[in-house]
């Protein structure tokens, strides 16, 4: 004779897994609000979402607001709930920091956490971060950087600092014995084997500049001092306006190709191997 116990209809403590469609991007708690009620209540990245599909759940399970859990079948028929991403990376103080791993419209699997009484996203933290250098980066060394989130424009988050490492000893940037200036931007990836944020892409100095001579340059001058008027394809090579030295084109016998009076306008191209700008065009004296 078969008893009812041979027909398992429900396991009260089985995992509850659901697929949600986010109706907002993940929100990271603002570190400036640390200690406030908002930060205390919601210290973990969160988003609003609607349930698309749900595995079975216990009838006694409730939301943090004390409401029973329900699945209405499909995001269009579901009510909006809050889902959390506890796996986000955290700084030395334990606060969640980084770039959101999901955006509005994305779908994510979530696990019902009976201990916290909330749906939590089953996804690892995002391991690629945009950054802006806070300090100069020497080839093969490391420097302090700011997180660079997107907020209409890419504006650095001075509340979030981390170290970035040039693991490829400058090869990635195609540069010689020189440094990357504060303000240069790039991407870094967290590498579990080294436990470091290693640079995968680095912004270069501008490939082309339009300049004006700040002093007369003669046919016998190897270099000239200039004011940068415009730049393209990279960052400003003279952000402090201290004047930039450009290299004249050698002809031999201590003679050079270009000469110009103070104020003459020209073009120069950046040579990454020599870390200097070479004049390619200049107004005649």
Domain 13-121 indexed as CATH 1.25.10: no
Closest CA to 273 of 181, 139, 144: 139
106 CB-side CA count, 13 A: 16
Average the pLDDT over 169-182 and give the result. Answer: 61
pTM of the model: 0.70
Average the pLDDT over 196-221 and give the result. Answer: 92
Shared fold status for 13-121 and 128-202: yes
Average the pLDDT over 125-139 and give the result. Answer: 91
State how far Cα 259 lies from the chain centre: 44
Q: Characterize the bridge pairing of strands 157-165 and 196-202.
A: parallel
Confirm if 270 and 246 have CB atoms less than 8 A apart.
no
The percentage of residues in the chain with a pLDDT greater than 90, rounded to a whole number, is: 44
In the three-class reduction of DSSP (H, G, I as helix; E, B as strand; rest coil), residue 29 is classed as coil
Closest CA to 61 of 26, 18, 20, 21: 18
Which residues have CB under 8 Å from 15's CB, separation 6+? 55, 111, 112
Instruction: Sort 172 into a burial class: Cβ within 10 Å, 0-12 / 13-18 / 19+.
Output: middle
In the chain, domain spans: 13-121, 128-202, 208-282
How far is Cα 153 from Cα 164, in angstroms, rounded to an integer?
22
In the three-class reduction of DSSP (H, G, I as helix; E, B as strand; rest coil), residue 172 is classed as helix
Q: Which helix (H) or strand (E) holds 39?
A: helix 37-41
The pLDDT value given to residue 235: 82
Q: What is the DSSP letter of 124?
A: P
* CATH class label, 208-282: mainly beta
Q: What is the pLDDT of residues 217-239, one digit of tens each?
A: 999 999 999 999 999 988 888 88
What is the torsional sign of CA 132, 102, 95, 198? negative
Quick one: pLDDT band at residue 176, thresholds 50, 70, 90?
very low
pLDDT at 256 over 60: yes
Confirm if 100 and 121 have CB atoms less than 8 A apart.
no
In the three-class reduction of DSSP (H, G, I as helix; E, B as strand; rest coil), residue 75 is classed as helix
Place of tokens 């302090």: 144
Average the pLDDT over 171-192 and give the result. Answer: 74
In the three-class reduction of DSSP (H, G, I as helix; E, B as strand; rest coil), residue 102 is classed as coil
Q: What is the DSSP letter of 171?
A: G
How far is Cα 274 from Cα 226, in angstroms, rounded to an integer?
18
The pLDDT value given to residue 4: 44
pLDDT at 89 over 60: yes
* CATH class label, 128-202: mainly beta
* Structure token pair of residue 186: 């790039």
In the three-class reduction of DSSP (H, G, I as helix; E, B as strand; rest coil), residue 261 is classed as coil
What is the torsional sign of CA 72, 73, 77, 83? positive
């Amino acid at each position: 004779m078969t008893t009812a116990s041979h027909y398992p209809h429900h396991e009260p403590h089985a995992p509850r897994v659901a697929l949600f469609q986010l109706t907002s991007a993940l929100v990271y708690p603002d570190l400036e609000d640390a200690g406030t009620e908002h930060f205390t209540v919601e210290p973990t990245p969160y988003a609003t979402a609607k349930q698309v599909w749900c595995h079975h759940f216990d009838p006694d399970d409730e939301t943090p607001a004390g409401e029973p859990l329900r699945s209405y079948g499909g995001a269009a028929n579901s009510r909006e709930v809050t889902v959390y991403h506890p796996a986000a990376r955290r700084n030395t103080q334990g606060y969640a920091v980084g770039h959101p791993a999901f955006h509005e419209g994305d779908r994510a699997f979530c696990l019902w956490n009976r201990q916290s009484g909330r749906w939590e996203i089953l996804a690892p933290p995002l391991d690629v971060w945009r950054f802006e250098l806070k300090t100069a980066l020497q080839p093969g060394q490391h420097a302090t950087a700011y997180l660079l989130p997107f907020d209409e424009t890419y504006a650095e988050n001075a509340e979030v600092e981390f170290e970035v490492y040039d693991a490829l000893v400058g090869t990635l940037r195609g540069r010689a014995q020189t440094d990357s200036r504060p303000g240069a931007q790039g991407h870094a990836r967290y590498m579990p084997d080294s436990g470091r944020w290693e640079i995968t892409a680095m912004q270069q100095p501008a490939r082309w500049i339009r300049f004006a001579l700040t002093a007369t340059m003669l046919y016998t001058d190897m270099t000239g001092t200039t004011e940068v008027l415009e730049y393209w394809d990279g960052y400003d090579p003279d952000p402090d306006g201290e004047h930039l030295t450009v290299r004249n084109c050698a002809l031999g016998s201590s003679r050079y190709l270009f000469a110009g009076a103070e104020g003459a306008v020209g073009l120069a191209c950046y040579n990454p191997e020599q870390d200097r700008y070479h004049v390619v065009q200049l107004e005649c004296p």
